[in-house]
Chains A and B, each alone.
Chain A
Amino acid sequence: MFLAQSSVDVTSIAWSSFAPELVVVCAALVLLLLAVAGRYRLAVAAACGLPAIGAGVWLVASGHVLPGAVAVTLGAAAPALVVAFPGRPSLTQSWGSGLTLFAALLLTFWQYAEVLAPTGGLIAPTEALQGAIANDGIGFFTRITVYLSALLVVPIGYGYLRDRQIGRAEVEPLLLLSVAGMAFLGVANDLITLFISLEVLSMALYILTGLARRDRRSQESSLKYFVTGSVASAILLYGMALLYTATGALDLAGIGSGLGLVTSPPVVGVLGLGLVTVGIGFKVALAPFHLWTPDVYQGAPTNVTAFMAAAVKAAGFAALLRLYLVAFPTLSSLWVPALSVMAAISMLYGAWVAIVQRDIKRMLAYSSITHAGYATIGVVSNSDAGLSSTLWYLLTYAVATLGAFGCVVAIERVRQGEVSLVDLRGMGRTSPMLAGIFTLCLLSLAGVPATAGFIGKLTIFQAGVAAGHTWLVVIGVVSSVIAAFFYLRIAGTMFLDEADETRGLPLVTTGLSAGVSVAATLVLFLGIQPQLLLQLAENAAAVVR
């Protein structure tokens, strides 16, 4: 199909529909080049920056002001950052990736205004690149979540990586590549794009989880994630092959209409559906495919764990939503009950097992399984409300979990190792600000009013009740109460217990405090005045079908 079009007209490519990813991937390459350029850093930066500035000027001249300005700024930033931090390449990397991710966020909103919803209000979904990607709400909102998560992870991780002497050059390029993969997963409209995006993001994460070369747990985490992730990918690929066999289509809408035809062999299609569910269920850590999560989350460097919890989940659910709503609507009588049971198990099992954990990262890992369960309620609602509530829920979960892991980073930096519950004793007295932010994020994860998490749970439950899944929502309530117990136990250990003076104060540096403060502010803002972004999530309930 692609080969038939022997020559591609450059101007016919819908650049705007993947502009943020383009910027992120280019920046990843530039940062990688800078990392290996040695004393030619400035020359490399200038050589990379100049074409970007040129392209930017051309864009501005042809009327695309914002993307042009972004290109010019980033192009100028490359040499400027090299000059600004002469002896400290890691600062150049962090600032560079931070700027890039901020630019990607800006471009996401520009895209919303220019391409997705030019008249304002609801998104008008279109296809781009011969149907390979979809310009629609799932992609839009997923971009917000993953770019925001990555943007917060960069400052949170900066000092932590330096302390643990974790190799610097590869971190930011891998982070950017991974986040680009996530964004593409959010817009992937056929099986090939979907699989490639998933692999791009996974490959980068396999390496990122193993970044701490001298830490055996990090190595274990990386290997475990790689082996189990590869198996999951293989299962997913097999499922895709079966779907192609059943329908003869690779694009999701084609699969959807193919499965709707009585002539197609349903057994093969259903098998494909099952295997794809396993593969994606693994990526989003939905029980019973969650077993890797605690070990990987605990062993990986904490900033990477935060990124995985917040962003991989959002991207995985984007793929899940698109697959089920576009490719499998006719099989909903099969997957709705199946996913409902998976959601119920995830919510109860995650909360239950988290109670007995002593290690904070492990506890948050089990909590992430619980939250995957909640988000699934929106998927099985199989409605516009369900779709937008899942997207919204993942954003609220992302900001809260990033803030929480950010606080763990601060504590871990002085502990030089695992952070367990007793390490937090009396933190409310010794470092009240950090303990306050941690508590706020935990209350958000618990779904207490005036935090983002409450509005998240509310919309999810609203969609679930409206779709008639009241029993699932009640299970969600029970699990929330169980989960509130261990979130409160962390908060209680910080505020209710006496301080242990021997343990040393958490180390909060500028970047970290900026990261967690922004996360905490967002938790409050989305909890008290959610209208702005919630409306965007509602507008995002538009899918290419």
Chain B
Amino acid sequence: MAFGPITLTLALPLLGALVLAFVADDPRVVRIVGLVASVATFVASLIIFVDFDVSNPALQLEERMSWVPAIGADFALAVDGVSLALILLTTFLVPLILLASFDSVTTSLKGYVAAFLALETAVIGVFAATDLLLFAVFFEFTLVPMYFIIGIWGGANRRYAAVKFFLYTTLGGLLMLVAILYLFSQTGSFDYEAIRALELGTTEQHWLFAAFLLAFAIKVPIFPVHTWLPDAHTEAPTGGSVFLAAVLLKMGTFGLLRYALPLFPDATVAWAPWLLGIAVIGILYGSLVALMQSDIKRLIAYSSVAHMGFVVLGTFALNATATTASVVQMINHGLSTGALFLLIGFLYERRHTRQIAAFGGLAKRVPVMAGLWLLVSMSSLALPGLNGFVGEFPILLGTFQTAPWAGVLAAFGAVLAALYLLWAYQRMFHGPLVGADNEHTTDLKLREIGVLAPIVVLIVAIGLYPKPLFDLVEPSVERVLTEVGVDAPAAEPAAAQTDQ
């Protein structure tokens, strides 16, 4: 098929951005265009979901057009369970992000909304591309709108953060491009399946894996190349932080799962123990540093390093339980950390500070915000019954099977998460209500609750009944693991049969 729902989902945000270029710079018009475009994109992504065959592990619904035949690149899009889940997460969050930003963004709302829509197109492209060059193009292009989102609408130190973000990620992206070009020189094609079928020597695999790993590790970010993240998160405007945490970081873990693992299976198996170690270091380091933060946004930024460490841990545990759960955890982290950044943004609009010490006893004045904050924190620290648990627990369970030491150490990270999140909550919302600022903080408005409500509903829904999400991603993950040469566990022969 040449044109279908995936292309539509990809094109709609860009179309919205183009429309914005030609409309008056009137906030009301901009809001309408932004919302219509992003909601239409969400609807289009639901069409993909309806067409999608959940039991089929392969890439589906392929849409292919000739793009640059002179260099052998196609405009080829397709989805599997993992990429569809991430596309749905993206299209679900963008309307909410825009809605949350309409009041807080005062300068050039038009540019802000246009940048977000362009970013949405690029991210959907990253998740849907099955031509490696097209993937690299979208992967690189996400930097441009995000650079401007951080740089123009960000905090005081925004320039430094924006440039750091750009340079870190472009280095990884370009080295990955070189690796992609090498793969092209071996196969004469940028097509994912053609490159997947390629048999590579061990040395080649190690080098190429290293290039892909660097690109994705910077994006995730994996310790020790995470240092751009706290700056970018802290300086970005609320919408930028939400999108960064919820979606952009997932490009890294998605890339590992889609490209690094199945394309270079020998290298993956050889590197896996080391990456488990690095993931554990990231979890513990991120948690401990988060514990020490005085700025609540920076705290959550470091908590992202820790949480993404869990995702990397699950990915490289290389068994069906942990790796599937790591994909589920990508979605969970997107929802709960996204919600936390939204709450921080709402609080910042009221108080213009993010210092934890400046707050205290707020629960008496803002009960709704406090309640939601607590709920989302609980989700983030993996309380059973909420979404974080259904992701984090199987990751630990699966890791215990393959690398017990890593599981034990990572479990400390889960404890630390409870510590830094609840301690921060306690300092901000409990205790005596001191100071006029705290006294006069107002509770969430209806619109703000409306932005958070869909996310909270999903947090609870996934926590109580995660099966649909697992069913969506499991076959695709198992296909990856089969490629890596890790046998699907004996406990799930039924799933293996339905694949045929």
Contacts and interface: CB of A to CB of B under 8 A. Distances in A.
Contacts of B171: 477-478, 481
Contacts of A459: 71
Given A477-B175, A480-B174, A454 B185 contact: no
B184 interface: yes
B133 interface: yes
A458 B174 CA distance: 10
B220 interface: no
Contacts of B69: 531, 535
Contact of B133 (A443, A458, A537): A458
Interface residues of B, number: 34
Contact of B68 (A450, A470, A495, A530): A530
Interface string A455-468: 10011011001100
B181 A488 contact: no
A492 B162 contact: yes
B181 A473 contact: yes
Interface string A520-545: 00000000001100110110000000
A495 B144 CA distance: 13
A454 B162 contact: no
A488 B143 CA distance: 12
B67 A454 contact: no
Contact of A448 (B68, B141, B163, B175): B141
Interface stretch (B145-153, B263-271, B298-306, B366-374): B145-153
Contact of A473 (B136, B147, B148, B178): B178
Contacts of B148: 495
Contacts, number: 90
Nearest to A482: B167
A37 B158 CA distance: 60
Main secondary structure of the interface of A (DSSP, over half): helix
Interface residues of A, number: 34
B331 to A, nearest CB: 27
Contact of B151 (A477, A495, A530, A531): A495
A230 B482 CA distance: 66
Given A462-B181, A474-B178, A485-B167, A448 B159 contact: no
Contacts of A489: 163
Given A462-B71, A496-B158, A531-B69, A449 B178 contact: no
A481 B70 contact: no
Nearest to A465: B181
A484 interface: yes
A488 B163 contact: yes
Nearest to A447: B174
B68 A477 contact: no
Interface in B65-118: 66-71
B137 interface: yes
A287 to B, nearest CB: 21
Nearest to A531: B68
A449 B141 contact: yes
A481 B174 CA distance: 8
B159 A470 contact: no
B16 to A, nearest CB: 17
Interface string A287-312: 00000000000000000000000000
A449 B138 contact: yes
B347 to A, nearest CB: 26
A470 B144 CA distance: 27
B156 to A, nearest CB: 12
B182 interface: yes
A470 B204 CA distance: 12
B138 to A, nearest CB: 7
Contacts of B147: 488
Contacts of A448: 140-141, 143-144
Interface in B165-214: 166-167, 170-171, 174-175, 177-178, 181-182, 184-185
Interface string A491-522: 01001100000000000000000000000000
Interface in A423-462: 428, 443, 447-450, 454-455, 458-459, 461-462
Contact of B167 (A450, A465, A484, A535): A484
Given A450-B141, A473-B181, A495 B70 contact: no
A496 B152 contact: yes
Interface string B265-296: 00000000000000000000000000000000
Given A484-B167, A492-B151, A534-B68, A454 B175 contact: no
Nearest to B125: A449
Contact of A466 (B68, B136, B151, B185): B185
Highest count of chain B CB atoms <10 Å: which of A455, A477, A538: A477
Highest count of chain A CB atoms <10 Å: which of B148, B171, B177: B177
Highest count of chain A CB atoms <10 Å: which of B71, B140, B163, B175: B71
A477 B211 CA distance: 12
Contacts of B182: 465, 470
A488 B166 contact: yes
A443 B144 contact: yes
B184 A462 contact: yes
Nearest to A477: B174
Contacts of B184: 462, 465
A495 B159 CA distance: 10
Contacts of B136: 449
Nearest to A443: B144
Given A462-B71, A473-B181, A474-B178, A496 B141 contact: no
Contacts of A530: 68, 70
Contacts of A428: 152
A454 B133 CA distance: 11
B177 to A, nearest CB: 7
Highest count of chain B CB atoms <10 Å: which of A459, A488, A534: A488
Contact of B71 (A447, A474, A484, A534): A534
Nearest to A539: B70
A530 to B, nearest CB: 6
A485 B70 CA distance: 31
A443 B67 CA distance: 22
B63 to A, nearest CB: 18
A477 B178 contact: yes
26 contacts: A447-B174, A448-B143, A449-B137, A449-B141, A450-B144, A454-B140, A455-B68, A458-B133, A459-B71, A461-B181, A462-B184, A465-B178, A466-B185, A470-B178, A473-B181, A477-B175, A480-B174, A481-B174, A484-B167, A485-B163, A492-B162, A496-B151, A531-B68, A534-B68, A534-B70, A538-B70
The 4 closest A-B pairs by CB, nearest first: A534-B70, A449-B137, A477-B174, A449-B141
Interface of A: 428, 443, 447-450, 454-455, 458-459, 461-462, 465-466, 470, 473-474, 477-478, 480-481, 484-485, 488-489, 492, 495-496, 530-531, 534-535, 537-538
Given A488-B163, A489-B163, 8 more contacts: A447-B174, A448-B140, A473-B178, A474-B175, A474-B178, A484-B166, A530-B70, A535-B69
